[in-house]
Amino acid sequence: MKRRDFLKTGAMAGVGAGITILNFPVFGKNAPSNKIVIGVMGVNSRGNWVAQVASKLPGAEIGFICDVEDGAVQKGLKAVSTQARKPEVIKDIRELLARKDVDSIMIAAPDHWHAPAAIMACAAGKHVYVEKPLSHNPQEGEWLIDASRKYNRPVQMGNQRRSWPNMQQAAKEVLEEGIIGRVYYARGWYANDRKPIGTGKKVAVPATLDWDLWQGPAPHTDYLDNIVHYNWHWRWVWGTGEACNNGTHEIDCMRWFMGVEYPIKVTSSGGRFAYSGDDWETPDTQSITFEFEGNRAITWEGRSCNPYKLEGSGRGFAVFGENGALYCDGGDSYRVLDNKGKVVKEVKQNTTANQESTNVVSPAGEFLDAVHINNWLQNIRGQAKLNSEITEGHKSVLLCQLGNISQRTGDILHTDSKNGHILQNEEAAQLWGRSYEGGWQPKV
């Protein structure tokens, strides 16, 4: 989608309004008063995409590219090559955060970097956009909330559906208008066709990669040839599995549409079922159930290595109520059915939104990603509230993390309905946090 189309779309109305006068001091000493200078951390895949999308929005400029691998850096520079200014490259996030001429940070590095980098960015006075999952473990999520409050830095998480106009409308119809009556159950799913990752070999670190800095806060290990750039997702030391990688989106929507916060019981089953004998540690097949007070529950099913679609889509969710159900195919469309299965309402997404449910870079397409990023930019300008403020993001990511903890321990988890903390299970509680490489412990 071209930039001029953004400005014609109703969902983006107001993007250009009031943009020349801001309601806050811009930190960038070289920035015009109407420009937000952004540094993007991690630009090989998702970060490359969000940098490209953000660079096309009015009043935003990608001033800095931060990545530890030379090939990724070049991809990042190419992604924003149409903007007037060529970004400066800084490999170490600590050096980038020390710069006074950067206003805000977008974090799309591997999962183990999300919260530590965001906490440092808050302390440095930067505005923060962090891709999902916002943390590697529940403790980091709580630390990031503390940092956001301590340094008065609102943080937006990249669960883009919170900004999609039809999803906002659907949530209102379910929660406020009672279109399907009292909701008591939701079911979500994600399917893909991922292949085995093999067994990594210990080889010399490529000259193009700073392996120590790539690992950063995670306990350091020898370099293996099957980790960078993507397969770290399936190793617990760096990744969080499919539940946090893609489940975050549907689980967040289900929690949102049901009006629930923290569970009272979590159960997970599954494992590395589709293949065996490789380095993949997280489940490739997983079913998680969350129970909440008031006789309500959410179930999520993830199949990383079998692309069979449910309800005609590789991802999506359905919410069930006393008077019917609401179904979403993973995009910004939905339909409402009564208890006889008759469709009583159907809303389709904007035709400019290009949806690919299993696209690992951008399942939603440029338009819908831009809506969420623009909400963050408008918040920086003092013109909008965040649609996915960090506290709400944490509650949803925590569900995914609790599902993984249940899976790793093999236990049914009983949790505190006030904060999600694990009750009376010392082994599971040990996975609430993690150990860090010396000198990298996050500090709030």
Q: What is the CATH number of the domain that holds 26?
A: 3.40.50.720
Pairing between β-strand 88-89 and β-strand 324-328 as defined by DSSP bridges: unpaired
Q: What is the CATH number of the domain that holds 252?
A: 3.30.360.10
DSSP 278-337: SS--S-SEEEEEEEETTTEEEEEEEETB----BTTBSEEEEEEETTEEEEE-SSS-EEEE
- Residues 279 and 256 occupy one common structural domain: yes
HSE of 427, CA atoms in CB hemisphere, 13 A = 9
Question: What is the mean predicted confidence (pLDDT) over 31-51?
Answer: 87
The answer to whether residue 326 is domain-embedded is: yes
Q: What is the biggest distance separating any 2 CA atoms in the chain, rounded to whole angstroms?
A: 63
- Residues 110 and 248 occupy one common structural domain: no
- Residues 251 and 349 occupy one common structural domain: yes
* Res 202 pLDDT > 70: yes
- Residues 264 and 304 occupy one common structural domain: yes
Taking the model in full, what pTM does it have?
0.91
The answer to whether residue 177 is domain-embedded is: yes
Centre a 10 Å sphere on the Cβ of residue 164 and count the other Cβ atoms it contains. 26
The residue segments making up the domain with residue 105 are 3-161
**What DSSP state is assigned to residue 137?**
S
In the chain, how many domains are there?
2
Question: What is the mean predicted confidence (pLDDT) over 230-245?
Answer: 98
The answer to whether residue 375 is domain-embedded is: no
Distance from C-alpha of 146 to C-alpha of 154, rounded to nearest angstrom: 11
* Res 362 pLDDT > 80: no
- Residues 37 and 84 occupy one common structural domain: yes
- Residues 118 and 178 occupy one common structural domain: no
- Residues 171 and 143 occupy one common structural domain: no
The answer to whether residue 412 is domain-embedded is: yes
Centre a 10 Å sphere on the Cβ of residue 425 and count the other Cβ atoms it contains. 17
- Residues 25 and 142 occupy one common structural domain: yes
- Residues 127 and 186 occupy one common structural domain: no
Q: How confident is the model over 142-186, as pLDDT tens digits?
A: 999 999 999 999 999 999 999 999 999 999 999 999 999 999 999
Contacts of 345 (CB under 8 A, 6+ apart): 179, 335, 336
Distance from C-alpha of 152 to C-alpha of 148, rounded to nearest angstrom: 6
Residue with the bigger pLDDT between 14 and 245: it is 245
Q: Which of 17-26, 178-187, 194-203, 390-399 has the lowest mean pLDDT?
A: 17-26
- Residues 96 and 180 occupy one common structural domain: no
Give the pLDDT band (50/70/90) at residue 33.
low
Backbone angles phi, psi at 211, to 5 degrees: -65, -40
- Residues 63 and 118 occupy one common structural domain: yes
Distance from C-alpha of 171 to C-alpha of 179, rounded to nearest angstrom: 10
- Residues 15 and 43 occupy one common structural domain: yes
Question: Rounded to an integer, what is the distance from CA 440 to the centroid of its chain?
Answer: 23
Please give the pLDDT value at position 367. 87
Of 161, 193, 227, the position where a domain reaches its end is 161
Question: What is the mean predicted confidence (pLDDT) over 361-386?
Answer: 87
Q: In the chain, pLDDT over 70 holds for what percent of residues?
A: 89
Distance from C-alpha of 197 to C-alpha of 284, rounded to nearest angstrom: 12
The answer to whether residue 415 is domain-embedded is: yes
Question: What is the mean predicted confidence (pLDDT) over 299-316?
Answer: 96
3-state secondary structure of 424: coil
Of 161, 186, 220, the position where a domain reaches its end is 161
